[in-house]
Structure 1
Amino acid sequence: MSRTPTAEPVLPPAPGAEDYLALDFVNSAIALPGGQFIDLLGTPETTNHWLAERGLAPADAGVQEMCATQLRSLREHVRALFAARVAGLPALPAALSAVNDALSKAPTAALLHWDEKNGPYRATPCPTNEILDRALATLAANTADLLTGPDAERLTDCGSTPCNRYLLRHGRRHWCSVRCGDRARAARAYARRTQPKPG
C-alpha cells in the first residue's frame, strides 16, 4: 500500500463533515482504489496544516512527530467508535478511554496567575505545549456530540469499496462523494453483466 503524503484534498468533504469536525478528522485517512492511501496527518507538516485549516492550531505551531502520532492514535479510536455505532456493536473500552482521556485534557476554567506589576489575574492557558491537548479535547468533544446527538442515527460508512470514509446519510445515499457513488454503481453494473444466466 503506497502512502502519498499530501495536504491537498483528493475528495470533497463527506456529507456531514462541514457540521462535525469528528467526521472530517476520521476521514483524514483516505483509502483510494489501486491500493493508494493518503494520510492528511501523515507527517508533522501535514498535521500542522490540517489543524491550522480547522482553527485548531496556529499555522506556525511547529507540530512534532509525537503530536502527529497522538492525533493519529485518537483518530483510530474515534474510527473504532464510529464503526461500532454503525454496526450496532458495543464500543471497545480502549476507544472510549482514549476519547474520555482526550476530553479531560483541556482546562475548562481560566486559571489564576500573578503578575509582578499588576497582581493576580485569570487567564485560560494556551502555551505551545497545550495546543495539542486543546485540539485533542476539541476533536473528542465533537466525537461525543456526534455519537450522542440526533445525527448519530445518520452516521454510516461509505458504501463504495475500498473507501474507508464516514458520512451522515441523507435519504438513501450511502456514498461519501460522487466519485465513490459512480464507482459503486459501475461495480454493480459489471457484476450484473458478468453473472451467469440461469438456464
Structure 2
Amino acid sequence: MIDRAPGADLHPGLDVANSRLAIPGQPALDLLESPEAATRWLIDRGLAPADAVLHEICAERLRDMRARIRELFEAHVRQTAPPPAALAAINAAMTRVPTAAELRWDPDRGLHRATPHPTDQVVDRALGVLAADVADLLTSAEASRLAACDSPPCVRFLLRGGRRQWCSVRCGDRARAARAYARKSH
C-alpha cells in the first residue's frame, strides 16, 4: 500500500491526481489502470457503492479527469494560467449531476443524509465530487500550500505543512541521499 501524500486524505481531488506514481527503478504504477482498479479506488474512497462495476469507458473518464486535475495543479504550482480544457472539464463534471447528499427519512435511522448512486451515474457523481473538491481546494486558503513533490522522479502533489517538501518519507529519504551523494562527489 502506498501512503497518501499530505492532504490527500482530506481532498479526494488531490488523491486522484496522485493515483499514478513514478517509482524509481520500476514501471509507473497506475491505481486506475483497469476498470477493476478504478472501481476499487472509487469504492475505497466512498465515491461509489460497494457493488459498483465500472467498464473501460468509465475508467477512461476517471483517468481523463485525473489528467485535467493534474494540469490545473501544475498550472497552480507554476503560477501560470490553467489550460482552458482543464477548466472546462472541471466545470462540466461539477454541473453534470448534483453532488450534495440528499436528506432522507427512514424509521430506523431517522433523518439522515445519503448520496444516491444510480447505476448509470456512478462515474458522473464521482467525477462531480472530485471536480468540486478540486475547485474548493484551488480557491481556498489551502491553495497556497499545494506543491509538487521535490524528489524526482516523483510526480505527486501534496499540501505542504511547515518545511515539508516531499509527499512521503521515502521521497524525503531519496532526496536527502541524493544531496549527500552530490556533496561527496564534489
Q: TM-score, normalised by structure 1?
A: 0.83
Looking at structure 2, the residues matched to 163 and 107 of structure 1 have their Cα atoms a distance apart, in angstroms, of 34
Selected match of 1:173 from 164, 168, 181:
164
Render the CA deviation track for 1:55-105: whole Å, top value 9, x for unaligned. Answer: 111222110000000000000000000000001000000110111111111
Looking at structure 2, the residues matched to 102 and 29 of structure 1 have their Cα atoms a distance apart, in angstroms, of 21
Do the aligned partners of residues 185 and 100 (structure 1) sit closer, same or farther apart at CA in structure 2, a change above 3 Å counting? same
Looking at structure 2, the residues matched to 83 and 21 of structure 1 have their Cα atoms a distance apart, in angstroms, of 17
Match of 1:26 in 2: 17
Q: How many residues get paired?
A: 175
Render the CA deviation track for 1:10-58: whole Å, top value 9, x for unaligned. Answer: x211111111111111111111101421111000001100000011112
Do the aligned partners of residues 67 and 142 (structure 1) sit closer, same or farther apart at CA in structure 2, a change above 3 Å counting? same
Match of 2:178 in 1: 187
User: Does residue 83 in structure 1 map to residue 74 in structure 2?
Assistant: yes
User: Does residue 65 in structure 1 map to residue 56 in structure 2?
Assistant: yes
Note the C-alpha offset of 1:172.
1.2
What SS does the aligned partner of 1:156 have? Answer: strand
Do the aligned partners of residues 109 and 85 (structure 1) sit closer, same or farther apart at CA in structure 2, a change above 3 Å counting? closer
Do the aligned partners of residues 14 and 105 (structure 1) sit closer, same or farther apart at CA in structure 2, a change above 3 Å counting? same
User: Does residue 129 in structure 1 map to residue 120 in structure 2?
Assistant: yes
Do the aligned partners of residues 188 and 78 (structure 1) sit closer, same or farther apart at CA in structure 2, a change above 3 Å counting? same
Looking at structure 2, the residues matched to 25 and 129 of structure 1 have their Cα atoms a distance apart, in angstroms, of 21
Match of 1:6 in 2: none
Looking at structure 2, the residues matched to 48 and 109 of structure 1 have their Cα atoms a distance apart, in angstroms, of 21
Selected match of 1:138 from 129, 132, 138:
129
Looking at structure 1, the residues matched to 100 and 160 of structure 2 have their Cα atoms a distance apart, in angstroms, of 37
**Structure 2 stretches of 5 or more lacking a match?**
102-114
Q: Of the two, which has the highest radius of gyration?
A: 1
User: Does residue 98 in structure 1 map to residue 92 in structure 2?
Assistant: no
User: Does the 8 Å CA contact 1:106/1:134 hold for their aligned counterparts?
Assistant: yes
Q: How does 1:153-172 map to 2 (within 5 A)?
A: 153-172=144-163
AA at the equivalent of 1:47: A
Note the C-alpha offset of 1:192.
1.1
Do the aligned partners of residues 160 and 127 (structure 1) sit closer, same or farther apart at CA in structure 2, a change above 3 Å counting? same
**Structure 1 stretches of 5 or more lacking a match?**
1-8, 111-123
User: Does the 8 Å CA contact 1:105/1:136 hold for their aligned counterparts?
Assistant: no
Q: TM-score, normalised by structure 2?
A: 0.89
